Amino acid sequence: ETGVTQSPTHLIKTRGQQVTLRCSSQSGHNTVSWYQQALGQGPQFIFQYYREEENGRGNFPPRFSGLQFPNYSSELNVNALELDDSALYLCASSLGGASGTTDTQYFGPGTRLTVL
């Protein structure tokens, strides 16, 4: 096990609703990255937080937002849910720097979001 935890495990929402997913990073790690993994696909990078600031973003709309807290845990918020948001959401923690490092990202088990 990596020491990265995510909650909840599963979540069912309806279109238009808002959702918050949570991630606790591995002890000693200061960077959290979020990924969306649609069924049958590889993970897609959403964004990364380093020391409480967004530090890189993939091709996701602004309705995907996040926070990182002083203890380096993190939240992913998705507003105005769409059917295509149904996916496994993964967070990964690492010991990083502002421009990234060679450190490995360690993944949590994921949150399975279903949008009806």
What residues from 18 to 37 belong to the interface with another protein (CB under 8 A)? 33, 35
**Per-residue contact track with another protein, 46 to 65, x per CB under 8 A?**
--x-x----xx-x-------
What's the min distance (Å) between Cβ of 66 and another protein? 13
Work out whether 66 is an interface residue with another protein (CB under 8 A).
no
> Could you say which of 45, 67, 75, 95 contacts another protein (CB under 8 A)?
45
Q: Report how far residue 60's alpha carbon sits from residue 20's, in angstroms, rounded to the nearest whole number.
A: 16
Residue 79: HSE in the Cβ half-sphere, 13 Å Cα cutoff: 6
3-state secondary structure at position 85 = helix
CA distances from 80 to 1, 26, 50, 68 (A): 33, 30, 26, 21
28, 39, 42, 70: residue in contact with another protein (rule CB under 8 A): 42
Compute the least distance from the CB of residue 57 to another protein, in Å: 8
Cα(67)–Cα(38) distance, integer angstroms: 22
Q: Name the 3-class secondary structure at 68.
A: strand
Write out the residues near another protein by the rule CB under 8 A: 2, 4, 6, 33, 35, 40-45, 48, 50, 55-56, 58, 90, 92, 96, 99-100, 102, 104-110, 112
